């Protein structure tokens, strides 16, 4: 795994710029999605998104006149392989790539070839849906160079395997600094469209600014709740957020604390003692069970 040099990003909440909403993983009729690329753009534009990555399987979907929709399109691709030695499959999303198609030889593994291919095309790589892929922690530890891992993937809800926090925490506990991403991976656009996204803090809405902010962890992931601010001192950590029912402060192994609403009221603030952990991350959960995930803060 790539070890990110930034230590964890409290600065995201007071950095210059503004928040941009985006989806980093979705599909069109150029692979196995039900909507054409133009319909995909319209779907997300109508729902208030600022940027989008159409990550069709094994092909980069090139969008002509992308500015006409008012939606920033980041060129992307989803690569896959099966590693016969580890007997497990891998999917990797490449963002900001120069357009290319995946060759059949690279689909025979190992997974490192997928990351290397993305980086050779000038992009940055995300480890996709580890739970749905059936991966164990050891299967992820052998892959170097990804900047993030999907902690929520909406289309995997069809199989009950949409969440990847356990994989994320196992990697963080072992010192690997990866950012957590929520996405749609939309194919049908009914249960899997506009269900998970990232809120990126950037100075401008350009591919370079968005990709740079993603690499630096200047974003949070969410299914609905907003994380407004996170702060800490030598003894405690706190968060301000939109109204939720529970705020979790999660560290490695058995460390961390939760704050829960009482009396039918909502929470918009929570504070706990800093855990004895190498990192802490915040999860805010609203009354219908939707989460927002901060990036880990390395202590």
Write out pLDDT tens, residues 57-77: 999 999 864 555 689 999 999
Q: Which domains does the chain have, with CATH numbers?
A: 10-221 (3.20.20.140), 227-298 (2.60.40)
CA angle 4, 208, 120 (to 5 degrees): 65
- Say how far apart CA 60 and CA 219 lie, in whole Å: 25
Which residues share a beta bridge with 89? 82
- Say how far apart CA 100 and CA 216 lie, in whole Å: 26
**Phi, psi dihedral angles at 90 (to 5 degrees):** -135, 145
Among left, alpha and beta (phi > 0; psi -120 to 50; other), residue 233 is beta
Using CA atoms in the order 66, 69, 71, 77, what is the torsion angle rounded to 10 degrees? -50
What pLDDT score does 4 carry? Answer: 33
- Say how far apart CA 278 and CA 276 lie, in whole Å: 7
Centroid of chain to Cα 280: 17
CA distances from 141 to 12, 14, 119, 201 (A): 27, 33, 18, 29
What pLDDT score does 234 carry? Answer: 87
Hey, which bits of 16-70 come out as E strands? 18-23, 51-52
What pLDDT score does 24 carry? Answer: 98
Largest CA distance in the chain: 59
The alpha-carbon radius of gyration of the chain (Å, integer) is: 18
Which residues share a beta bridge with 116? none
Q: Which of 152, 135, 37, 27 is nearest to 77 (CA)?
A: 27
CA distances from 247 to 11, 91, 96, 215, 271 (A): 20, 31, 33, 26, 9
What pLDDT score does 63 carry? Answer: 86
Ranges of the chain with pLDDT below 70: 1-9, 64-69
Q: Give the number of residues written for the chain.
A: 299
Q: Are 238 and 231 in contact (CB under 8 A)?
A: yes
DSSP class of 249 = E
- Say how far apart CA 168 and CA 149 lie, in whole Å: 7
Q: Which helix (H) or strand (E) is 271 found in, with range?
A: strand 267-273
What pLDDT score does 263 carry? Answer: 87
């Amino acid at each position: 795994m790539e070890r990110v040099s930034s230590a964890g990003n409290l600065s995201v909440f007071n950095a210059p710029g503004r928040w941009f909403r985006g989806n980093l993983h979705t599909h069109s009729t150029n692979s196995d999605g039900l909507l054409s690329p133009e319909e995909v753009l319209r779907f997300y534009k109508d729902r208030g998104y600022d940027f989008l990555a159409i990550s069709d399987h094994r092909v980069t979907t090139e969008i002509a006149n992308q500015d006409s929709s008012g939606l920033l399109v980041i060129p992307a691709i989803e690569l896959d392989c099966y590693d016969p030695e580890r007997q497990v499959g891998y999917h990797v999303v490449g963002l900001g790539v120069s357009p290319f198609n995946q060759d059949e030889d690279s689909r025979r593994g190992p997974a490192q070839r997928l990351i290397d291919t993305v980086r050779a095309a000038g992009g940055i790589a995300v480890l996709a849906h580890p739970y749905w892929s059936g991966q164990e922690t050891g299967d992820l530890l052998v892959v170097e160079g990804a900047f993030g891992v999907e902690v929520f993937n909406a289309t995997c809800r069809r199989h009950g395997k949409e969440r990847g926090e356990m994989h994320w925490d196992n990697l963080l506990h072992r010192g690997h600094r990866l950012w957590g991403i929520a996405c749609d991976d939309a194919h049908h656009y009914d249960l899997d469209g506009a269900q998970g996204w990232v809120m990126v803090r950037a100075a401008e809405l350009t591919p370079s600014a968005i990709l740079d902010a993603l690499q630096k962890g200047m974003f949070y992931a969410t299914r609905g709740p907003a994380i407004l601010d996170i702060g800490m001192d030598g003894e405690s950590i706190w968060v301000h957020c939109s109204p939720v029912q529970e705020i979790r402060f999660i560290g490695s192994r058995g460390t961390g604390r939760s704050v829960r609403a009482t009396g039918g009221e909502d929470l918009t603030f929570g504070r706990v003692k800093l855990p004895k952990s190498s990192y802490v991350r915040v999860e805010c959960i609203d009354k219908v069970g939707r989460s927002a995930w901060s990036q880990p803060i390395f202590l």
